[in-house]
Amino acid sequence: MNTLATILLSVLPLAAGWAIHVWWLRGCLTTARRDPLTGLRTRDGFTRRATALLKDPRAVVVLADVDKFKHINDTYGHAAGDALLKATAERLSHHVGRSGVAGRLGGDEFAAVLLDDHDTAADLLAVLHSVLARQVDGQNPAMHTTVSLGWVRAADFPSDDLSGLLRRADEAMYAAKQARAGTRRAGLGWLFATVTGRRAGRTGARTEAPVVGVAA
């Protein structure tokens, strides 16, 4: 009995130390997957959760880009730009809800996957567009911008993975931005062609990339 007690007493500190180490590592991993400015998931964390959500036939992929963000930074300063990014992230996350996921892909570009329970994604995103355009509390009232949204219903392109759906949403978002339409759905209307996976105007794409029609 004394021998067993001695063994247990010697093992317990090691087990406790290992448990604390594992807990610390998990904390570090969680922190690494969160954007320090907005608190949203980073690209890696977003990709993991979004990929799982795409198994649901109700999934809708959204790409959001702040309009004229450089102008906000240049005119009102980086603190104002950061406040705008934080507000955008908070509003997007709230709108997506716990059943979906929102992430910051970098700069002023955000992505989300939401579950459309009632086939009302267009209406939901029109509301979201209005919410994202609201003035940021505590900031200069003259500071105003909008957010262009591109979206795609995953069920419309069953062979596409997350990367492919984000590319389609990106095309739709760019079309919405160019037309000042607020939101645009991929698969409907005229969208800008991509070349080697990049839409015209982005690094790696030919400037002569044609505009192509996408059937509804």
Q: Which residues are catalytic?
A: 108
- From the list 130, 162, 194, the residue with the least C-alpha distance to 62 is 162
Phi, psi of 191, deg, nearest 5? -125, 160
d(CA 109, CA 165): 15
d(CA 9, CA 4): 9
Are the CB atoms for 49 and 43 separated by under 8 Å?
A: no
- From the list 153, 162, 62, 58, the residue with the least C-alpha distance to 102 is 62
Q: What does the DSSP assignment read for 95-108?
A: HH-TTSEEEEEETT
Within the chain, where are the H helices? Answer: 2-32, 43-53, 69-76, 78-96, 121-132, 162-179
Phi, psi of 42, deg, nearest 5? -80, 180
Q: Alpha carbon of 133 to those of 44, 63, 110, 146, 152: distances in Å?
A: 27, 15, 15, 5, 21
Query: What SS3 state is found at 142?
Result: coil
